Amino acid sequence: MLVELLLAAIVLVLLALVLWLLTTTRRELGELRQATAPADAVTELLRRQIEAVRAEGRDGQEAVRREVSDLALRMRGDIGGLQQSVASELKGVSTEVTHQLHEGMKLIQNAQTTMGDRLDRAAQVVAEVQGSLGKLGEATLRVVEVGKDIQGLEQILKSPKVRGGLGETLLAELLSQMLPQEHYTLQHPFKSGERVDAALRIGDRLVAVDAKFPLENFRRMLDEGEEDKRRPVRRQFVRDVRTRIDEIAKKYILPDEGTFDFALMYVPAENVYYEIIIKDETDLADDPIATYALSKRVVPVSPNSFYAYLQVIILGLRGLKIEANAQNILNDLARLAGDLDKVREPLRTLGRHIGNAQSQFTEAERALDRFGAKLETIERKGGAQAELPEVGS
């Protein structure tokens, strides 16, 4: 568009120049006609000048036309090259833009896929959380119901006799799960008429286990909120425990009736065991409960520590069983040694007989060889006689 405007401007300038020359010539011709009379010479001169001017104008127009044509050709070539360059650049830009658009679309699709997966996982997690919340709600309701049951059980266990029975039941259940029936006895009687809750049989001796632990003052101690009121109740609880230790040592440690020189005091709850054995913050002048119990040869055990004791007892029972089996094996070996002595003499006699038979076999084999040699000699002699010529032949 710019080149066409430029060409039009050049053409207009040339036309204006030609018009100006014609106008000037006509004006001079008019002035000359007014200044002089008409004459053929002047007219001819003027005609020639006009022709010359016209020829120059035509030559100028032709030159301008050629210049304009050359310029137009050059401009067309430049415009063509420019168009090709622009087209090439546009093609490259278009290709790059298309590639970038494709990459952008891929990124968008991947982002959409990732976002969809995350949304699906989030929805799944939300569903799982909702399910867990539902289960948690159900579990909470069950916990509330269990709490109510525990409250009812607590009311039932307020009776010391019932608590003792529960401790015996828990002890019996634990023993039934850990030991064979032949290695423990429930409610084992003594000559005094007393019965221990359980007696563990290790070899030919017994370990007494008592489960009647005093919990009344312990429960009162937990119910007291103030430390000043709790301290005297704790003292009473400690006295109850010491009293029970004395009773166990007196009633159930009876070596004359086959017991070991110690007994076990089964504490039915870990928190109680922690309070009397591990914590033991009593301000009494006497020894701590654990020291006092060991001095009486009474060993306090909780459910967890009693389980460990039972594991040790099981290992001991296995050792006893191995010892008994080893003794049986030794007895069997002794019997086998006697049987071997009984078999050894006949074997020796048989060996002598076999030796004699071997000697006789060797002697017979030698005699047979001698007999064979003689037989071969006789055969050779018989053959030689057969080869002699007949008489008179």
pLDDT, tens only, 242-262 = 999 999 999 999 999 888 888
pLDDT above 60: residue 386: no
| Candidate ranges 98-102, 301-305, 312-316, 346-350; pick with highest mean pLDDT | 301-305
Taking Cα atoms as reference points, which of 185, 165, 167 lies closest to residue 176?
185
Tokens of 22: 């014609």
Higher pLDDT, 374 or 388: 374
* Range name among 73-82, 93-102, 322-331 with the lowest pLDDT average: 322-331
Mean of the per-residue pLDDT values of the chain:
74
In which residue are the tokens 């997690």 written?
A: 125
Confidence at residue 109, expressed as pLDDT on a 0 to 100 scale = 75
* Range name among 58-72, 242-256, 312-326 with the lowest pLDDT average: 312-326
Number of CB atoms found within 10 A of residue 141's CB: 10
Kindly give, in sequence order, each residue whose CB lies less than 8 Å from that of residue 30, ignoring residues fewer than 6 positions away. Answer: none
pLDDT, tens only, 358-367 = 778 788 778 7
Concatenated DSSP letters for 11-52?
A: HHHHHHHHHHHHHHHHHHHHHHHHHS---HHHHHHHHHHHHH
Confidence at residue 189, expressed as pLDDT on a 0 to 100 scale = 92
Alpha-carbon dihedral sign for residues 156, 160, 162, 167:
positive
Residue 221 Cα to chain centre, angstroms = 47
Report d(CA 12, CA 281) in Å as an integer.
123
Burial class (CB in 10 A: 0-12, 13-18, 19+), 57: middle
Average pLDDT over residues 224-233: 79
Taking Cα atoms as reference points, which of 179, 188, 180 lies closest to residue 206?
188
Report d(CA 1, CA 79) in Å as an integer.
10
Sheet holding 184-189, edge to edge: 184-189, 195-202, 205-210, 259-266, 298-301
* Range name among 73-87, 132-146, 179-193, 197-211 with the lowest pLDDT average: 132-146
* Range name among 101-105, 173-177, 211-215, 284-288 with the lowest pLDDT average: 284-288
Report d(CA 231, CA 25) in Å as an integer.
144
Confidence at residue 40, expressed as pLDDT on a 0 to 100 scale = 60
pLDDT above 70 covers a percentage of the chain that reads 66
pLDDT above 80: residue 263: yes
Report d(CA 68, CA 11) in Å as an integer.
8
Tokens of 20: 């100006």
Higher pLDDT, 66 or 201: 201
Tokens of 124: 């799944």
Q: How many residues does the chain have?
A: 393
Tokens of 219: 């429960």
Confidence at residue 247, expressed as pLDDT on a 0 to 100 scale = 92
pLDDT, tens only, 31-58 = 666 665 555 665 677 677 777 777 776 7
Report d(CA 372, CA 14) in Å as an integer.
160
pLDDT above 50: residue 388: no
pLDDT above 50: residue 156: no
